[in-house]
Structure 1
């Protein structure tokens, strides 16, 4: 399980619900007041804690009643804490909230002014891991942290721990980020902060400026317009949920918590946006401090189309994109289980893999290879076992005892038992699939149940006709295949499609209602599935 360390600001928030502002020399009453825990890092940690994440807040408070209140709230959310020493009082913000939910803030930083790079390094755990996330929130509120911040990031990067950075508002007006961008894995900002940093009003142009200046991935929080994820040559958007705004304070922090929670689960970028928008949308509906519930999030995800689609200009670029995904997977987990597709579409992928293996850029020595499906009652040259031997397995360094394949000559029930036992004990980390013209995945033809496991499939006339182009002699009419339920239990799924003949299938799979008549549409409910297609295959989406 990934650990998340939120480093940055914590304070008490005093909310005054009024459309008026105080005039010197006068006194006016307000209808409602409320005191909660606040601060970017603290809000993010609180939301993550309520969602069940393993989260630690590193910050500073004074020795006062405000600090006691903060510690009590964090404990209730099951947030672990490391507080740096300070003789100053706990930070406090006074927040004026209008009837429309908009707000203005006045703050005293207090103990936060004592947070320094040296103090952070003294308490940061030594045993940071690749899967851990260090989240910096409230950076612009911490003047001492600005001194030598890049060196702190460099020390963290040595551990290959992921670094998430949320800008917050820079009351000092400096907005410096250029030295920070290359050292972050994800850079979060809202539209106001984005314009201040880049001096560009157009969101797309501003996000591209950040990437040009070193940011790997950028997430822009757009309030009632949802959020957008940017990477090089990639943009994903998701709408905000429909909600009546009562108090928007901290909505951006709660969005970041939802996104970060999903990332810690290794879910896809579209799912991360959906989680962030849902948590933020629920937060602004409440005057009281919102405590996210994992059950509510799970219900929302089950009702949402999570299919992610990426259009790429040509087949070669698609192949390079898939190979890069495989390399990232193996870097993250050397002993990954890879279930890879056969057929004409991925041959270019396997050629590129072989090329990069020869160049020493990819290593399969600890990985497992798992076959997706296999023809029954056909000659050896038609089998996928022979296909993979010729196109991949003989060209890279999978170990023989880590290659798990079907045997068309063995009783299929024995095969089923063997493969299911392997998947149960290991699980599939990454699966590469093609999509049939009729929407089939592997040999799960239209009408196959979403709950299907390993089974013998009778091939449709469409599939048999398509196979005649690639097979010789007697064309098989049956195959053993992983079922749809088995497929969606994979941690990450890539579906690739090229050419206009796949365009209707891609549209039905990603944009229309999920149905067993289009087997690939089951992936709309998968939390880390992506369709990587060319312009022709993505013509209708």
Structure 2
């Protein structure tokens, strides 16, 4: 496994470091294809990218963005739409036009065909230069819940009770039971993978992902087989990693 582990003091430092990584990818390739997620973890990163854009330090006119998850049956103008969340926090503030953004069509009457179209777009574009992901408390990555296999492509998934409970923190009601997600095979094929983790609630899942057995019970553990992985964690999320290394 080719992994770079970066441990920082807290969430703000993690967000700063993540912005440096994304900016370096764009500097190397201004037309970079980025796979981006939502949730609380990357919001600090997106705020920093927006700030750099406003200051004229981050050219974004040529990048392409793949929005990597969506709720099944949720259109892009729904308050719960993950695409709408990404649009609000990053795409619109940074002037990234819809012609350069590829989303999963949660509202499509044939969602599995929509997933297949998403995969074809991803393949014909040359794949992702960088994908940014968080890790769930149950070891999921994206909406690849426990039981997901490494060969999976984009598809419909039933969300676990743990994920649903966590998502109530975002929406408080009417949380969709199913999602659409980029598959593990797509994640693993990205040229670079950035996994972000913050807070003690992620410590156990991060330990299992990086030092446990590679198993579908912890889909993030498949990242051990990735070619170019950077793990960016604050001290609370990394505390069991540090403890494990000391014991070793």
TM-score (norm 2): 0.92
Within a 5 Å distance, the mapping from 1:66-105 to structure 2 comes to: none
Farther-moved stretch of structure 1 (514-523 vs 406-415): 406-415
Tell me the distance in 1 between the aligned counterparts of 2:115 and 2:74.
Answer: 19
Give the one of 518, 521, 525 matched to 2:221: 521
Contact 2:112/2:156 (<8 A) preserved: no
Would you tell me which structure has more helix in proportion to its own residues? Answer: 2
Q: Find out whether 1:398 has 2:93 as its counterpart.
A: no
Report the equivalent of 1:34: none
Contact 1:494 1:531 in 2 (8 A): yes
Name the CA distance, whole Å, in 1 between partners of 2:148 and 2:38: 20
Residues 458-487 of structure 1: per-residue CA shift (max 9 Å, x gap): 000000000000014311110010111111
SS at match of 1:443: coil
Greater C-alpha Rg:
1
CA contact (8 A) 2:65 2:100 kept: yes
Match of residue 58 from structure 2: 362
Matched, 1:408 2:87: no
DSSP 3-state at the match of 1:485: helix
CA shift, 1:307, in A, is: 3.5
Alignment of 1:262-273 (within 5 A): none
For 1:414 and 1:394, the matched residues in 2 are separated by: 28
Query: What is the deviation of 1:354?
Result: 0.9
Residue 490 of structure 1 corresponds to 190
SS at match of 1:537: helix
Greater relative contact order structure (CA < 8 Å, 6+ sep): 2
Q: Does structure 2 conserve the Cα–Cα contact (< 8 Å) formed by 1:508 and 1:518?
A: yes
Q: Give the match's secondary structure for 1:433.
A: strand
After the TM superposition, which parts of structure 1 deviate over 4 Å for at least 4 consecutive aligned residues? Answer: none
The question of 1:377 aligning with 2:73 is answered yes
Find out whether 1:322 has 2:18 as its counterpart.
Answer: yes
The whole-number CA distance in structure 2 between the counterparts of 1:326 and 1:462 is: 30
- 1:389-410 residue CA offsets vs partner (Å, 9 max, x unmatched): 2111110022321110112111
Alignment of 1:439 with 2:136, yes or no, is no
Give the structure with the larger strand fraction: 1
Tell me the distance in 1 between the aligned counterparts of 2:116 and 2:208.
33
Q: Does 1:475 align with 2:171?
A: no
Q: How big is the shift at 1:378?
A: 4.3
Q: How far apart are 1:412 and its partner, in Å?
A: 1.1
Q: What's the secondary structure of 2:148's corresponding residue?
A: coil
1:413 Cα deviation after fit:
2.8
- Secondary structure at the residue paired with 1:530? strand
Instruction: Tell me if 1:418 matches 2:113.
Output: no
